[in-house]
Structure 1
């Protein structure tokens, strides 16, 4: 649990998922701005002798006089400079559904990002647990190899004693020495495997790979298989992040289809403006205001809207078919994990019994050899069998623990206190 806790704080994949969730939350907040009014300021400078523009600007600057009605002055006006400042306030009312659809999409995308983070958190937890169990297995393997070396040394000593007393052949001593060398080589390899497994655990936790730990053996008293396959399938349908993600993708595709349908509707906005016109930059020779309602309706857009609607509808159907495939795949994965757990539990029970039998076989043969009733090769063969059986038992325990974690991962409850 502490290893998983370290990973939750340090794993870079999880940090990236947190950043993605923060971005989607910010995007949802930004989408709310579409419902609020906007206020913009514009400043334009123009100098012109265009008759209509000169006429208009003089009116706007409130400098128009009766002399300006002179035909010659109207047709050949003196150039005029106009600084126009405008404040424009726009209140969106309905813009083909872009506001509400955009907000709903941003909420769905935030939920998708949250589910992605949950998915990555569970995957990281699984990798940490798997690496932890692998490190435990490596340490157990080292213990088995160390015990094998000690047994080989004891057998070498016994063979030397019997050979010196003339009760055994020289070949017995040589065989015992060869067996000892082989055992020591395997122990050295096991020591290296422990360091590699520890580095892999550090990597899964997202910390420096030169850290070594004293690991507590995992508990194996939880029998997840007793719950039954159908119960786990039901849990997976409710909690597996990939299943929930797929449903959110279908929801998002549906909103995009709705967005394409809304393109056939009109847009309506309210707009107000305050305007100043002056010969100078900061002058206020004349000012005015206006309020208006603006509606637009797309009559013909080259059939592009219909094509976009057809594309969005096809994409929505694709996501629905993909959702069906994902749920079928999840069902298969849960079944595989469940039956793998049952098999792993049975193999663990069998190997633990085999270890006791192998230990008893070696004990009997050692006694028989001491009394000259067995050959050294039989004793060494029994010791090798015991070593292999102990390794198989360690591997079976690792497989069982990993299978439990895998079932939790495949049903979406890994890392959750509530497994229902």
Structure 2
């Protein structure tokens, strides 16, 4: 055998041996702060703008409740007035009835006694809206937790895809070098080299796509935590998995009873019912009690004067009942409108319950499917590894070709990627099932 051909064979064997010793499941660790899933969720909850907005909504609803409560209490009013007439109003024998300049000061207290039950009902609505705001904050919190879990595991999946794609490129680069060396010494035909080059080009294209997917996953992760969009994302890998602890019946019953969407719908129903009562306030008169004190005079401090104008202070108490008894059906149609709104709210609740049942069913089936996929692909890993081992032995005995070895390595890489996808998809679907039944797992 010619020395050049021997050298090529030795080079090829060393290249293949180096290739075979690489494990596509191993990635390259990059130094930096490593975030756990729990830390990711806690950070997302701390910085999420939607959650902060929900808390502001609670404050706003609490202020609205205080405003509604104030209508039960009396209103205090004070007025100061200056009036200039063209001349004094004087009547012979009585003196000055109205001077040229008048300064007047008055204060009053008004207490509502009855307003067709509207005050108490508006206060009740304010309390219900505060309760709805608190429920909205809980819903936002649950959404943030689920989004943090989904983003976390999607990033892990993207990282594994890049690691395996890089390993695949390295495999085909080695194969291309071996094929080129063999072709140069006439050991293999040209089409073997062309096939290796085509496979290398395809592998590089898949790596480019994998890097793009990883870049998007990192950007979403950084956006979730409100970090710089291009910051490196270092997170702890999680390969453990376990079956979901509850059966479908438990999940469905829990969701229908404890989902905060249902609780919020119940609050909206109470608000709609109370709105009907408010719309009927026109069927009743309103009754108010008021006390007024008036002082007036020629001087700036509302004192001074002569004649009949000299008695410059007075007070009175009034009980006032008022009723707009004919408004051309305004109150009637207002009540009818609110009844229609109540019917809409009831239908909306039924739609929410239907959607909850569907979400629970889909999430439960996806969770079960992902767990079965893990078990299936685990067997595939063992088979792919055994196939790789046999192919290496056949290559050592010159029964298999280099292409056969790399195809076996590629099969193992693809199987490992399917395994990681099944693991991380299982975690995402389990998180979606917890969200569907209204629970908040932080890990």
Same-fold call, TM cutoff 0.5: yes
Q: Which residue of 2 aligns with 1:340?
A: 366
Deviation at 1:174, TM superposition (A): 5.4
Counterpart check, 1:24 vs 2:61: yes
The structure-2 alpha-carbon separation of the partners of 1:43 and 1:302, relative to structure 1 and needing over 3 Å to count, comes to farther
Q: Which residue of 2 aligns with 1:271?
A: 290
Q: Which residue of 2 aligns with 1:242?
A: 261
The structure-2 alpha-carbon separation of the partners of 1:368 and 1:111, relative to structure 1 and needing over 3 Å to count, comes to same
Distance 1:244 1:341 in 2: 26
Q: Which residue of 2 aligns with 1:301?
A: 327
The structure-2 alpha-carbon separation of the partners of 1:161 and 1:48, relative to structure 1 and needing over 3 Å to count, comes to closer
Alignment of 1:353-372 (within 5 A): 353-372=379-398
Q: Is the 8 A contact 2:151 2:217 kept in 1?
A: yes
CA RMSD of the aligned region, Å? 2.9
Deviation at 1:106, TM superposition (A): 0.8
The structure-2 alpha-carbon separation of the partners of 1:341 and 1:236, relative to structure 1 and needing over 3 Å to count, comes to same
Q: Which residue of 1 aligns with 2:139?
A: 119
The structure-2 alpha-carbon separation of the partners of 1:322 and 1:312, relative to structure 1 and needing over 3 Å to count, comes to same
Distance 2:160 2:254 in 1: 34
Deviation readout 1:184-240 (Å, 9 max, x if unpaired): 44334433432321111111223321222221123643422x411111112212332
Q: Is the 8 A contact 2:87 2:100 kept in 1?
A: no
Q: Is the 8 A contact 1:49 1:79 kept in 2?
A: no
Q: Is the 8 A contact 2:41 2:442 kept in 1?
A: no
Q: Which residue of 1 aligns with 2:46?
A: 9
Counterpart check, 1:93 vs 2:113: yes
Deviation readout 1:319-378 (Å, 9 max, x if unpaired): 112111211111111111111111111112212221221122122112212322124443
Structure 2: runs of 5+ lacking an equivalent: 1-37, 305-311
Deviation readout 1:53-90 (Å, 9 max, x if unpaired): x69xxxxxxxxx99218xxx9xxx77643322110111
Q: Is the 8 A contact 1:122 1:414 kept in 2?
A: yes
The structure-2 alpha-carbon separation of the partners of 1:161 and 1:359, relative to structure 1 and needing over 3 Å to count, comes to farther
Q: Is the 8 A contact 2:111 2:290 kept in 1?
A: yes
Which segment drifts farther, 209-218 or 42-51? 42-51
The structure-2 alpha-carbon separation of the partners of 1:416 and 1:27, relative to structure 1 and needing over 3 Å to count, comes to farther
Counterpart check, 1:108 vs 2:128: yes
Deviation at 1:300, TM superposition (A): 1.4
The alignment of Structure 1 onto Structure 2 pairs a total of residues equal to 399
Which segment drifts farther, 397-406 or 122-131? 122-131
Q: Is the 8 A contact 2:287 2:322 kept in 1?
A: yes
Q: What is the TM-score when the length of structure 2 is the normalising length?
A: 0.81
Structure 1: runs of 5+ lacking an equivalent: 56-64
Distance 2:279 2:70 in 1: 21
Distance 1:270 1:127 in 2: 56
Which segment drifts farther, 270-279 or 10-19? 10-19
Alignment of 1:49-64 (within 5 A): none
Counterpart check, 1:136 vs 2:156: yes
Q: Is the 8 A contact 1:131 1:201 kept in 2?
A: yes
Which segment drifts farther, 404-413 or 12-21? 12-21
Q: Which residue of 2 aligns with 1:231?
A: 250
Distance 2:343 2:200 in 1: 67
- What SS does the corresponding residue of 2:283 show, helix, strand or coil? coil
- What SS does the corresponding residue of 1:231 show, helix, strand or coil? helix
Which segment drifts farther, 310-319 or 16-25? 16-25
